[in-house]
Structure 1
Amino acid sequence: MKHVVLEKVWNVCFESMLIVNHEGQIKRANRSALRLFELSSKNLGETSIFELIPLDYQKFLKTNKETTGISLSFGTKELMMNVVPFKDHSLLIIKDITQQQLLKYELRQATEQKFLYDSILDMLEEGICAINMEGKILFYNKKMGEIDLREPESVKHKLFREAFPDRDEHSSILLKTSRLSKSLNYRETHFTNSGKAVTTLSKSLTLNIGSRQVGAVEILKDITEQKQLEETIRNIKNDSVTEITKKPKGKNNNTRFNFRDIVFKSRVMRQTVDQARRAARTSSSTLIIGDTGTGKELFAQSIHNHSPRKNYPFIAQNCAALPEHLLEGLLFGTSVGSFTGAIDREGLIEQAHNGTLLLDEINSMGINLQAKLLRFLQEKTIQRLGAKRSIDVDVRVIATINEDPYTAMENGRLREDLFYRLSVVNIIIQPLKNRKEDIPVLIDHFLQKHSERLQIRVDKVESEVMDIFLNYEWPGNIRELEHTIEGCINMLDGESTIAYHHLSPTFQSRVNEYTQNNTDREIPKLSLLSGGSLEEQKEKLERTLIQLALEEEKGNVTKAGKVLGISRQNLNYKIKKYNLK
């Protein structure tokens, strides 16, 4: 009975099993082995295993040790053999691993292909995030991480709601597409930690296999530079259509702002405005220093409109919006033959004759072009590209810079001689985080401005939101505050008060991140840093050291500069920056 049962087991096993003697003669073989080697049970004893496997495997049969994992081939098949020795015979257990090896190869190929595709997608300028129907993040490339300020590996394979707890089906275009099963488009402007305004265009699509939806993908593109170029090209076209003559223009001087448009309450801002009013009386070159979004162009236009040049053109150009070779032609003009397709065209400097030229972000202008600008400031003459004749031009130049000018000079972004030529008058605009008392009056101003424009009634912001606004650092300064208020007004639905849920998901995320960072800094061991970030602490320490040096030297700036190891000019700049007496 036992023999019958063992015989059945022997023949139904998937593995091929053979019993051979030490000479390799096959004594028995189960059905799987007969099929594998195409043998007949009638003439089995006349067959040697070495005829089937023409390799020197005799050593495995003559040893008394059990041997496993022997790789061998039979035709196109890949086999794995184990040898179990007995007294006069050996049991060979052979497994056909051809399909397994093929699957391993295909898996390796698929893995390599996936890595290749992931690498290609990481090189794209568009951010990409894909989820399945359960909301698990399947893919998240580097560009999306740069825009979201997230490390891709920290969010991959997580549920979307876990990776982005501040986003839900109402605020996330990706989750909306997954839920509604339709494509969506969305455009948003937000601000980075450095205060730079970033405009993004996002599109979300469903992922389908045949007619079955398996997920959704969001493709997000940073169109900030494209938007700036479009505005620049539009301005150039407008200039070519509307000729700017040298005759007085009255109020039509390309400006919108005056000193009365500067909204403030703080004492430091009042001093800055008073300083700008005094600077407007002359035609001296002026350098306006301030972080992104503090209103540098508003000050520049106000100076122009309060000056003797107010009836003449005010021309503004962002130096970061165009490559150096295009910016040079735009500023100085071109003549026929200077390059293929060139025509005789006035540059912005000529167009601003008798008026004011604003050069925004002067530290973004190429060093070679800065040298040419310096020559114009000294000689008051220009030459169009490709021209031999010089043109006399009377223009007041106001430049702006969004960083410490001494840092810009040290890092080679600003020529030292150009800085001293431009900074005959220095106006330093404090960032919004240093004048929090201006925030409520600015909010009231923006509520009124945008509620009238959008025809949406709004009375105030809730106290919770006001506390958030007062405690937030505002890296984008007044521009970010205005965008935030305008965005909230757009989200009102019959309400007249701005609440927390009206804030954009991006802003909520930044507030939560800022709050978390502040909470982390409240650890007792780090109590000395509880006053702010590393940059803020450096500024406070610098301010204190300057104050101590001035007190020690009884207000003598030259001696205090020597104590601190910086130049008198640099110290004067920092005294203005920190509003020190």
Structure 2
Amino acid sequence: MHSIQHSAFIQAMIDMIDRGIHVVDENGRTIFYNRKMREMEGMDNIDLLDRRLLDVFQFHPDEQSTLLQALTLKEPILNVQQSYFNAKGHEITAMNDTYPIIVEDMVLGAIEVSREVAPVDQDISPHKKLSSFDHWAGTSPLIRQMISEGKRAAASDEFLLLCGEAGTGKELLAQSIHLERGLHESSFIGIDFRSASAERSEHFIENLQSSSKKTFFMGHAEFLAIELQQTLAKKLLSEKHRPREERNHFILTIGQDPIDAIQSGRLLKELYYVMSERTVFVPALRERKEDISELVQYFIGEFNNRFQTAVSEAHDEVITLFHKYDWPGNVRELEHVLEASMLALGSEDQVSYSHLPHYFRLKFDDPASSMPALDGSAFMVKEGKASQTLDSFLHEAESYYIQKSLQYHEFNITKTADALGMSRQNLQYRMKKHGLKVKG
């Protein structure tokens, strides 16, 4: 069969599959990309063939494409949930199984099979189902205080600044405030500056006006270029001069302490002054661990509805591990861990240690095992038999050493990389490989 006909035959075949299929060569250039994947990633009008993956898709700073990881690791990467941004700046979340293509010990490429977890995010609105204050799980003092402050903010028309780490739920709080004001879901209009292009951000800022009451939500101001922050500050200042009854509602978020962001040059002081008429801090999950059990049950209920399952609860050993963990990715990380766990359940009705994602289990001892995590005994051969395989030990030792180095250097990536004699990129890749994340 002619090579062109052969290629067309394969493309037609993978287009019939109801899972997303993406195949790249050894250089990360797209070879095949099926119809389902185009639908999942919102790429119907963009030609990906022979284009490098990183020229089309954008990944979070602390993450790497699972396709590129498979090329490097030369081993399958299974049941991994990944969030990234397409060429239009919209966020995609998918569950991936990724395999290297190896022939005669040579890596020729990689293939990824994806199932959709969440539809392509067409900006933050309109016509998106929003979350009210009733959806907030937890009864800790910090979360009760945040909800109380959020409801007071909803009763005013002041500009609002929401501060909190990534994954704490700042957008959900903004949605709750919007609904608390009695406004329709379709009038919540937003953008995430972290993923938006400069052109899209500029267009959004230029159109911050409406003849009817709307909430303009602007996420992650620290990712917006300073020049555009200046434009935004001027635009909002002029909005403040309008009569209060004619004002729209404006909510801005930042992922760190705003004073630290100003001192580091990531946040314009004038923009902070304009937006901080009222400020609400969203607590990190590690600061309200007493809410974990309730959050777990909430997410199990959500995923039971989505997956049509009947999971009852998480085993006590899982809850205990969750309380030991610091959750650098906050509530969003907990959600992702539970989602991956429930997808691995099969016919069982209780989430146990064995169902947790592999990268997460590496952080802890197996509660059912008598073996310690990584101490001196792990380095010993006893009675002529190794306590674990060499590959397993090297993997565990590398994870342990990197984690301790990060802690010693206060999770500073540059200092840790220098100390370990590797590049920042190499360190970040290895951190991703072992499921390690920077705190804070």
Q: TM-score range by the shorter chain?
A: 0.5 to 0.7
Paired residue secondary structure (1:297): helix
Which structure has more RCO (C-alpha within 8 Å, separation ≥ 6)? 2
2:143 matches 1:284: no
SS in 1 for 2:163: strand
**1: distance between equivalents of 2:209 and 2:323?**
45
1:136 is matched with none
Instruction: For 1:367-406, list aligned pairs within 5 A.
Output: 367-380=226-239, 394-406=247-259
Q: Is the 8 A contact 2:160 2:250 kept in 1?
A: yes
- Equivalent pair of 2:303/2:339 in contact (CA under 8 Å): yes
Q: Point out where structure 2 has 5 or more consecutive residues left out of the alignment.
A: 1-24, 31-58, 66-71, 85-90, 366-371, 377-403, 412-440
Find the counterpart in structure 2 of residue 413 from structure 1. Answer: 266
User: 1:191-244: CA deviations, max 9, x gaps?
Assistant: 9xxxx99978564244224xxxx47677489x9xxx99x946x449x97xxxxx
SS class of match (2:305): helix
CA contact (8 A) 1:315 1:352 kept: no
Q: Where do 1:66-215 residues align within 5 Å?
A: 173=76, 188-189=81-82, 203-209=98-104, 214=105
Structure number with greater Rg is 1
Q: Within 5 A, what are the aligned runs for 1:521-540?
A: none
2:351 to 498, 506, 525: 498
Contact 2:236 2:274 in 1 (8 A): yes
Indicate if the aligned counterparts of 1:458 and 1:498 stay in contact, CA closer than 8 A.
yes
Q: In structure 2, what is the Cα distance between the partners aligned to 1:197 and 1:404? A: 28
Matched letter for residue 188 of structure 1: Q
Summarize deviations over 1:93-141 as a string: whole Å, max 9, x none: xxxxxxxxxxxxxxxxxxxxxxxxxxxx999699xxxxxxxxxxxxxxx
Q: Are the structure 2 counterparts of residues 285 and 437 from structure 1 closer, same or farther at C-alpha, using a change threshold of 3 Å?
A: same
Matched, 1:317 2:191: yes
Q: Measure how far apart 1:351 and its partner are.
A: 5.0
Secondary structure in 2 aligned to 1:288? strand
Distance 1:395 1:197 in 2: 29
- Equivalent AA in structure 2 for residue 259 of structure 1: F
Instruction: Go from structure 1 to structure 2 and tell me whether the alpha carbon gap of 1:263 and 1:363 turns closer, same or farther (over 3 Å shift).
Output: same
2:293 corresponds to 1:432 = no
Give the partner amino acid of 1:355: K
Amino acid at match of 1:189: Q
Counterpart contact for 1:255–1:314, Cα < 8 Å: no
CA 1:199–1:218 in 2, change beyond 3 Å: closer, same or farther?
Answer: farther
CA contact under 8 A between 2:167 and 2:330: conserved in structure 1?
Answer: yes
Deviations 1:328-359 (CA, angstroms, capped at 9, x unpaired):
11332xxxxxxxxxxxxxx3x23584121110
SS in 2 for 1:350: coil
Letter in 1 for 2:236: L
Cα distance, 1:534–1:466 mapped onto 2, change above 3 Å:
same
- Mapped to 2, the partners of 1:398 and 1:296 lie a distance apart of 10
Counterpart Cα distance in 2 of 1:313 and 1:220: 41
| Aligned amino acid, residue 156 of structure 2 | T
Correspondence 1:447 to 2:321? no
- Report what 2:324 is aligned to: 471
Match of 2:133 among 259, 265, 271: 259
Distance in 2 (alpha carbons) for counterparts of 1:304 and 1:326:
23
| 8 A contact 1:202–1:218 mirrored in 2 | no
Assess if the C-alpha contact under 8 Å between 1:292 and 1:477 holds in 2.
yes
> Cα deviation per residue 1:263-319 (whole Å; 9 max; x = unaligned)?
112011101111111111111011110111111111101111112655871112101
Asked if 1:489 is matched to 2:382, the reply is: no
Identity %: 24
Paired residue type of 2:352: A
AA matched with 1:366:
A
SS at match of 1:400: strand
Q: Report SS of the residue matched to 2:332.
A: helix
| 1:329 and 2:329 are equivalent in the alignment | no
Matches within 5 A, 1:210-249: 214=105, 219=110, 231=120, 234-235=122-123
Provide the rounded CA distance (Å) in 2 between the counterparts of 1:484 and 1:415.
35
Change beyond 3 A, Cα 1:378–1:533: same
8 Å contact from structure 1 (residues 313, 351) kept in 2: no
CA distance in 1, matches of 2:102, 2:374: 37
Partners of 2:80 and 2:340 within 8 A in 1: no
Match of 2:213 in 1: 354
| Cα separation, partners in 2 of 1:286 and 1:518, compared to 1, 3 Å | farther
- Kindly tell me: are residues 287 and 500 of structure 1, through their superposed partners in 2, closer, same or farther at Cα, counting changes over 3 Å? same
* In structure 2, C-alpha distance between the alignment counterparts of 1:435 and 1:235, rounded to whole Å: 30
- Find the counterpart in structure 1 of residue 172 from structure 2: 298
SS in 1 for 2:209: helix
Q: Distance in 2 between matches of 1:363 and 1:500?
A: 37
User: Contact 1:381–1:393 at 8 Å: present in 2 too?
Assistant: no
Describe the shift of the 1:314–1:364 C-alpha distance in structure 2 as closer, same or farther (beyond 3 A). same
* Distance in 2 separating the partners of 1:254 and 1:352: 21
- Decide whether the 8 Å contact of 1:281 with 1:308 is kept in 2: no
* 1:307 corresponds to which of 171, 177, 181: 181
Q: Given that residues 190 and 480 in structure 1 are in contact (C-alpha distance below 8 angstroms), is that contact kept between their aligned partners in structure 2?
A: no
Counterpart of 1:40?
Answer: none
Residues 158 and 277 of structure 2 are in contact (CA less than 8 Å); yes or no, is this contact kept in structure 1?
A: yes
Is contact 2:154–2:180 with CA below 8 Å preserved after alignment?
yes
Distance 2:320 2:83 in 1: 20
Distance 1:368 1:441, change over 3 A: same
Q: Distance in 2 between matches of 1:436 and 1:302?
A: 22
Residue of structure 2 in register with 1:462 after alignment:
315
8 Å CA contact 2:210–2:248 kept in 1: the answer is no
Q: What SS does the aligned partner of 1:260 have?
A: helix
